[in-house]
Amino acid sequence: MRIIQQSHQFINGSDHLKLIESAGRTCYKSEDKITEDSAHRFVKMITKAGHYSVLEHASICFEIHQEKAWEFIINADRKYLFWDGSRVRKLVSGNFRAWLEFIQFVGIREAPDEIINIFMYLHKEWPEIFPIPFDCYHYMEIPTVVPENQMTIEEKLIHATRTCRFITNRGVTHELVRHRTFSFSQESTRYVKYDGGMEFILPVWFGSVWEGTWFDREGAWKSRFGRSDEDWMIAPATWLFACEQAENMYHDLLKEDWKPEQAREILPNSLKTEIVCTAPLNQWKHMLGLRTSKAAHPQIRGLMEPVLIELQEEFPDIFKSIGGKA
Protein backbone atom coordinates (compact mmCIF):
# COMPACT_ATOMS: atom_id res chain seq x y z
CA MET A 1 0.00 0.00 0.00
CA ARG A 2 1.27 3.46 -0.86
CA ILE A 3 -0.01 6.87 0.21
CA ILE A 4 0.45 9.65 -2.37
CA GLN A 5 -0.50 13.29 -2.90
CA GLN A 6 -3.04 14.27 -5.55
CA SER A 7 -1.73 16.19 -8.57
CA HIS A 8 -2.51 17.46 -12.06
CA GLN A 9 -0.79 17.79 -15.45
CA PHE A 10 -2.01 19.49 -18.63
CA ILE A 11 -1.45 17.17 -21.59
CA ASN A 12 -2.44 19.24 -24.62
CA GLY A 13 -0.49 18.70 -27.81
CA SER A 14 -0.64 19.26 -31.54
CA ASP A 15 -1.13 15.56 -32.37
CA HIS A 16 -4.84 14.86 -31.97
CA LEU A 17 -4.55 11.08 -32.25
CA LYS A 18 -1.86 10.86 -29.57
CA LEU A 19 -3.99 12.99 -27.26
CA ILE A 20 -6.96 10.66 -27.78
CA GLU A 21 -4.78 7.60 -27.18
CA SER A 22 -3.30 9.06 -24.00
CA ALA A 23 -6.76 9.75 -22.61
CA GLY A 24 -8.22 6.44 -23.73
CA ARG A 25 -5.48 4.27 -22.31
CA THR A 26 -5.98 5.93 -18.94
CA CYS A 27 -9.20 3.95 -18.58
CA TYR A 28 -7.36 0.62 -18.75
CA LYS A 29 -3.96 1.76 -17.44
CA SER A 30 -2.38 0.48 -20.63
CA GLU A 31 -0.03 3.42 -21.19
CA ASP A 32 2.86 0.96 -21.45
CA LYS A 33 1.51 0.00 -24.90
CA ILE A 34 1.97 3.50 -26.33
CA THR A 35 4.55 3.65 -29.12
CA GLU A 36 5.40 6.18 -31.80
CA ASP A 37 2.88 4.65 -34.21
CA SER A 38 0.28 3.12 -31.87
CA ALA A 39 -2.16 6.06 -31.83
CA HIS A 40 -3.56 5.34 -35.31
CA ARG A 41 -4.39 1.72 -34.46
CA PHE A 42 -5.83 2.61 -31.06
CA VAL A 43 -8.13 5.35 -32.37
CA LYS A 44 -9.29 3.20 -35.27
CA MET A 45 -10.13 0.39 -32.84
CA ILE A 46 -12.15 2.52 -30.39
CA THR A 47 -14.01 4.29 -33.20
CA LYS A 48 -14.97 0.99 -34.79
CA ALA A 49 -16.15 -0.25 -31.38
CA GLY A 50 -18.32 2.84 -30.94
CA HIS A 51 -16.42 4.21 -27.93
CA TYR A 52 -16.91 7.77 -29.11
CA SER A 53 -16.47 9.41 -25.71
CA VAL A 54 -12.68 9.20 -26.02
CA LEU A 55 -12.87 11.20 -29.26
CA GLU A 56 -14.12 14.16 -27.23
CA HIS A 57 -10.60 15.04 -26.07
CA ALA A 58 -9.54 16.34 -29.50
CA SER A 59 -11.12 19.48 -30.98
CA ILE A 60 -10.87 21.61 -34.11
CA CYS A 61 -12.18 25.06 -35.10
CA PHE A 62 -13.16 26.31 -38.58
CA GLU A 63 -13.98 29.73 -39.97
CA ILE A 64 -17.16 29.84 -42.05
CA HIS A 65 -17.20 32.23 -45.05
CA GLN A 66 -20.40 31.38 -46.92
CA GLU A 67 -23.65 32.72 -45.52
CA LYS A 68 -25.47 29.63 -46.74
CA ALA A 69 -23.06 27.41 -44.85
CA TRP A 70 -23.41 29.55 -41.71
CA GLU A 71 -27.20 29.33 -41.78
CA PHE A 72 -26.89 25.57 -42.24
CA ILE A 73 -24.71 25.35 -39.11
CA ILE A 74 -26.93 27.42 -36.84
CA ASN A 75 -30.19 25.87 -38.05
CA ALA A 76 -29.08 22.23 -38.03
CA ASP A 77 -28.95 19.97 -34.97
CA ARG A 78 -25.41 21.01 -34.10
CA LYS A 79 -25.18 18.91 -30.95
CA TYR A 80 -22.14 19.95 -28.92
CA LEU A 81 -20.73 22.22 -31.64
CA PHE A 82 -19.86 25.73 -30.51
CA TRP A 83 -20.47 28.64 -32.85
CA ASP A 84 -19.73 32.33 -32.55
CA GLY A 85 -20.80 34.78 -35.22
CA SER A 86 -21.26 37.98 -33.26
CA ARG A 87 -17.81 39.43 -33.94
CA VAL A 88 -15.59 40.05 -36.94
CA ARG A 89 -15.72 36.48 -38.23
CA LYS A 90 -17.86 33.38 -37.92
CA LEU A 91 -16.28 30.43 -36.11
CA VAL A 92 -17.57 26.96 -35.35
CA SER A 93 -15.68 24.42 -33.25
CA GLY A 94 -16.25 21.05 -31.71
CA ASN A 95 -14.57 17.90 -30.54
CA PHE A 96 -14.13 14.97 -32.90
CA ARG A 97 -17.17 13.16 -31.55
CA ALA A 98 -19.34 16.25 -32.08
CA TRP A 99 -18.15 16.57 -35.70
CA LEU A 100 -18.59 12.85 -36.35
CA GLU A 101 -22.15 12.80 -35.00
CA PHE A 102 -22.95 16.03 -36.85
CA ILE A 103 -21.87 14.38 -40.10
CA GLN A 104 -23.88 11.26 -39.30
CA PHE A 105 -26.99 13.28 -38.49
CA VAL A 106 -27.09 15.84 -41.32
CA GLY A 107 -25.57 13.60 -43.96
CA ILE A 108 -23.39 15.11 -46.60
CA ARG A 109 -25.38 15.16 -49.82
CA GLU A 110 -27.64 18.05 -48.76
CA ALA A 111 -24.94 20.18 -47.11
CA PRO A 112 -23.59 23.41 -48.65
CA ASP A 113 -20.20 23.26 -50.37
CA GLU A 114 -18.27 24.76 -47.47
CA ILE A 115 -19.69 22.20 -45.04
CA ILE A 116 -18.82 19.39 -47.45
CA ASN A 117 -15.28 20.78 -47.61
CA ILE A 118 -15.05 20.53 -43.82
CA PHE A 119 -16.28 16.95 -43.89
CA MET A 120 -13.81 16.05 -46.61
CA TYR A 121 -10.96 17.72 -44.74
CA LEU A 122 -11.76 15.75 -41.59
CA HIS A 123 -11.88 12.55 -43.61
CA LYS A 124 -8.59 13.24 -45.33
CA GLU A 125 -6.74 14.11 -42.11
CA TRP A 126 -8.30 11.43 -39.86
CA PRO A 127 -9.87 8.68 -42.01
CA GLU A 128 -9.84 6.27 -39.04
CA ILE A 129 -12.48 8.50 -37.39
CA PHE A 130 -14.36 10.09 -40.31
CA PRO A 131 -15.04 7.31 -42.86
CA ILE A 132 -16.48 9.26 -45.80
CA PRO A 133 -15.83 7.61 -49.20
CA PHE A 134 -14.00 9.80 -51.69
CA ASP A 135 -15.60 7.99 -54.59
CA CYS A 136 -18.84 9.80 -53.76
CA TYR A 137 -17.54 13.34 -53.29
CA HIS A 138 -14.65 15.39 -54.53
CA TYR A 139 -12.44 17.59 -52.41
CA MET A 140 -13.13 21.11 -53.62
CA GLU A 141 -11.31 23.51 -51.32
CA ILE A 142 -9.41 23.28 -48.04
CA PRO A 143 -11.48 24.91 -45.27
CA THR A 144 -10.02 27.57 -43.00
CA VAL A 145 -8.76 25.92 -39.82
CA VAL A 146 -8.34 28.43 -36.99
CA PRO A 147 -5.57 27.49 -34.53
CA GLU A 148 -5.67 28.82 -31.00
CA ASN A 149 -2.76 31.21 -31.53
CA GLN A 150 -4.84 33.05 -34.16
CA MET A 151 -7.86 33.55 -31.91
CA THR A 152 -8.79 36.66 -29.97
CA ILE A 153 -9.27 36.42 -26.21
CA GLU A 154 -13.04 36.33 -26.72
CA GLU A 155 -12.72 33.56 -29.29
CA LYS A 156 -10.38 31.52 -27.08
CA LEU A 157 -12.95 31.61 -24.30
CA ILE A 158 -15.40 29.71 -26.53
CA HIS A 159 -13.26 27.69 -28.91
CA ALA A 160 -9.92 26.98 -27.20
CA THR A 161 -9.79 23.84 -25.04
CA ARG A 162 -7.51 22.43 -22.39
CA THR A 163 -7.00 18.80 -21.39
CA CYS A 164 -5.77 17.95 -17.92
CA ARG A 165 -4.86 14.64 -16.28
CA PHE A 166 -5.73 14.49 -12.59
CA ILE A 167 -4.43 12.01 -10.05
CA THR A 168 -6.87 12.19 -7.16
CA ASN A 169 -9.33 10.05 -5.22
CA ARG A 170 -12.62 8.63 -6.42
CA GLY A 171 -14.64 10.90 -4.17
CA VAL A 172 -13.25 13.94 -6.00
CA THR A 173 -13.98 12.42 -9.42
CA HIS A 174 -17.61 11.90 -8.39
CA GLU A 175 -17.78 15.70 -8.08
CA LEU A 176 -15.81 16.37 -11.25
CA VAL A 177 -18.09 14.37 -13.53
CA ARG A 178 -21.04 16.52 -12.49
CA HIS A 179 -19.60 19.16 -14.84
CA ARG A 180 -21.42 17.68 -17.82
CA THR A 181 -19.98 20.06 -20.41
CA PHE A 182 -16.57 18.48 -19.80
CA SER A 183 -15.34 15.30 -21.45
CA PHE A 184 -13.91 12.58 -19.21
CA SER A 185 -11.84 9.41 -19.46
CA GLN A 186 -11.30 7.77 -16.08
CA GLU A 187 -9.30 4.85 -14.78
CA SER A 188 -11.76 1.95 -14.56
CA THR A 189 -11.99 -0.20 -11.43
CA ARG A 190 -13.91 -2.63 -13.59
CA TYR A 191 -11.01 -3.39 -15.93
CA VAL A 192 -7.94 -2.42 -13.89
CA LYS A 193 -6.88 -5.24 -11.60
CA TYR A 194 -5.20 -4.03 -8.41
CA ASP A 195 -3.37 -7.26 -7.65
CA GLY A 196 -0.20 -5.41 -6.77
CA GLY A 197 0.15 -2.62 -4.25
CA MET A 198 -2.74 -0.16 -4.12
CA GLU A 199 -2.34 3.59 -3.93
CA PHE A 200 -4.49 5.86 -1.79
CA ILE A 201 -4.72 9.64 -1.87
CA LEU A 202 -3.69 11.48 1.26
CA PRO A 203 -6.48 13.74 2.59
CA VAL A 204 -5.34 17.34 2.34
CA TRP A 205 -6.12 17.96 6.01
CA PHE A 206 -3.53 15.34 7.08
CA GLY A 207 -0.49 17.17 5.68
CA SER A 208 2.31 15.17 4.03
CA VAL A 209 3.48 12.92 6.88
CA TRP A 210 2.73 9.66 5.02
CA GLU A 211 3.55 10.67 1.46
CA GLY A 212 5.54 7.97 -0.34
CA THR A 213 5.26 5.50 2.55
CA TRP A 214 4.77 1.82 1.71
CA PHE A 215 2.88 -0.69 3.85
CA ASP A 216 2.70 -4.44 3.37
CA ARG A 217 0.57 -7.21 4.83
CA GLU A 218 3.26 -8.67 7.09
CA GLY A 219 3.30 -8.09 10.85
CA ALA A 220 0.96 -6.56 13.36
CA TRP A 221 -0.55 -3.08 13.17
CA LYS A 222 1.66 -1.53 15.87
CA SER A 223 4.90 -3.08 14.67
CA ARG A 224 4.28 -1.78 11.20
CA PHE A 225 4.88 1.76 12.43
CA GLY A 226 7.32 0.95 15.21
CA ARG A 227 5.45 3.30 17.55
CA SER A 228 2.83 3.08 20.22
CA ASP A 229 -0.79 4.05 19.62
CA GLU A 230 -0.45 7.27 21.56
CA ASP A 231 2.16 8.50 19.09
CA TRP A 232 -0.53 8.72 16.43
CA MET A 233 -3.61 10.84 16.12
CA ILE A 234 -6.64 8.54 16.28
CA ALA A 235 -8.36 9.85 13.13
CA PRO A 236 -5.40 9.48 10.71
CA ALA A 237 -4.58 6.05 12.11
CA THR A 238 -8.20 4.95 11.69
CA TRP A 239 -8.24 6.15 8.07
CA LEU A 240 -4.96 4.39 7.31
CA PHE A 241 -6.17 1.18 8.89
CA ALA A 242 -9.40 1.31 6.82
CA CYS A 243 -7.40 1.71 3.59
CA GLU A 244 -5.17 -1.20 4.53
CA GLN A 245 -8.12 -3.44 5.31
CA ALA A 246 -9.84 -2.53 2.04
CA GLU A 247 -6.72 -3.52 0.10
CA ASN A 248 -6.35 -6.79 2.01
CA MET A 249 -10.00 -7.76 1.54
CA TYR A 250 -9.87 -6.85 -2.17
CA HIS A 251 -6.91 -9.20 -2.63
CA ASP A 252 -8.72 -11.91 -0.66
CA LEU A 253 -11.73 -11.63 -2.99
CA LEU A 254 -9.48 -11.92 -6.03
CA LYS A 255 -8.12 -15.15 -4.54
CA GLU A 256 -11.72 -16.36 -4.31
CA ASP A 257 -11.93 -15.90 -8.10
CA TRP A 258 -13.91 -12.68 -7.96
CA LYS A 259 -13.39 -10.49 -11.01
CA PRO A 260 -12.05 -6.95 -10.52
CA GLU A 261 -15.51 -5.59 -11.40
CA GLN A 262 -16.90 -7.57 -8.46
CA ALA A 263 -14.11 -7.06 -5.92
CA ARG A 264 -14.24 -3.30 -6.44
CA GLU A 265 -17.44 -3.13 -4.37
CA ILE A 266 -15.38 -2.75 -1.18
CA LEU A 267 -12.98 -0.08 -2.42
CA PRO A 268 -13.15 3.30 -0.63
CA ASN A 269 -13.36 6.87 -1.92
CA SER A 270 -9.70 7.36 -0.96
CA LEU A 271 -8.54 4.95 -3.68
CA LYS A 272 -6.24 6.68 -6.15
CA THR A 273 -7.66 7.17 -9.61
CA GLU A 274 -6.69 9.04 -12.76
CA ILE A 275 -9.11 11.06 -14.84
CA VAL A 276 -8.52 13.06 -18.02
CA CYS A 277 -10.75 16.13 -18.39
CA THR A 278 -11.25 18.29 -21.50
CA ALA A 279 -13.37 21.42 -21.94
CA PRO A 280 -13.39 24.88 -23.56
CA LEU A 281 -11.85 27.63 -21.47
CA ASN A 282 -15.22 29.14 -20.52
CA GLN A 283 -16.20 25.82 -18.94
CA TRP A 284 -12.88 25.61 -17.08
CA LYS A 285 -13.56 29.11 -15.80
CA HIS A 286 -17.00 28.12 -14.53
CA MET A 287 -15.76 24.92 -12.88
CA LEU A 288 -12.76 26.55 -11.21
CA GLY A 289 -14.92 29.34 -9.85
CA LEU A 290 -17.00 26.73 -8.04
CA ARG A 291 -14.28 24.29 -7.01
CA THR A 292 -11.78 26.82 -5.62
CA SER A 293 -14.34 28.69 -3.51
CA LYS A 294 -14.48 28.42 0.28
CA ALA A 295 -17.67 26.38 -0.06
CA ALA A 296 -15.92 23.65 -2.08
CA HIS A 297 -14.86 20.36 -0.50
CA PRO A 298 -11.28 20.82 0.79
CA GLN A 299 -9.94 17.87 -1.23
CA ILE A 300 -11.17 19.16 -4.59
CA ARG A 301 -10.23 22.72 -3.66
CA GLY A 302 -6.70 21.55 -2.89
CA LEU A 303 -6.57 19.90 -6.31
CA MET A 304 -7.98 22.82 -8.29
CA GLU A 305 -6.13 25.77 -6.76
CA PRO A 306 -2.83 24.89 -8.54
CA VAL A 307 -4.81 24.38 -11.78
CA LEU A 308 -6.28 27.86 -11.45
CA ILE A 309 -2.85 29.39 -10.83
CA GLU A 310 -1.44 27.69 -13.95
CA LEU A 311 -4.31 28.85 -16.15
CA GLN A 312 -4.09 32.36 -14.72
CA GLU A 313 -0.45 32.46 -15.78
CA GLU A 314 -1.31 31.27 -19.30
CA PHE A 315 -4.56 33.23 -19.76
CA PRO A 316 -4.53 36.14 -17.29
CA ASP A 317 -7.28 38.04 -19.13
CA ILE A 318 -9.66 35.07 -18.82
CA PHE A 319 -8.96 33.67 -15.35
CA LYS A 320 -7.75 36.69 -13.37
CA SER A 321 -11.23 37.32 -11.91
CA ILE A 322 -11.31 33.98 -10.07
CA GLY A 323 -10.04 33.58 -6.55
CA GLY A 324 -7.89 36.68 -6.41
CA LYS A 325 -4.74 34.73 -7.32
CA ALA A 326 -3.67 36.73 -10.38
What are the domain boundaries of the chain?
13-152
How far apart are alpha carbons 148 and 204 in whole angstroms?
35
pLDDT at 224: 39
The interaxial angle of helices 298-314 and 281-291, nearest 10 deg, is 140
User: For every one of its 326 residues, what pLDDT tens digit does the chain have, with 9 covering 90 and above?
Assistant: 889 999 999 998 889 999 999 999 999 999 999 999 999 999 999 999 999 999 999 999 999 999 999 999 888 766 789 998 767 799 999 999 999 999 888 776 678 889 989 988 999 899 999 987 555 556 678 899 999 999 999 999 999 999 999 999 999 999 999 999 999 999 999 999 999 889 999 999 886 555 454 444 333 333 334 444 444 456 678 888 999 999 999 999 999 999 999 999 999 999 999 999 999 999 999 999 999 999 999 999 999 999 999 999 999 999 998 874 43
Q: CA nearest 115: which of 185, 60, 68, 47?
A: 68
Report the distance separating Cα 118 and Cα 191, nearest Å: 37
Looking at the chain, how many residues does it have?
326
Domain 13-152 has CATH 3.40.980.10: no
| Vertex 103: Cα angle to 102 and 109 (nearest 5) | 130
Task: For residues 180 and 243, give the distance between their C-alpha atoms in angstroms, rounded to a whole number.
Answer: 30
Task: Report the pLDDT value the prediction gives residue 48, as an integer from 0 to 100.
Answer: 92
- Calpha distance 16→134 (Å, rounded): 22
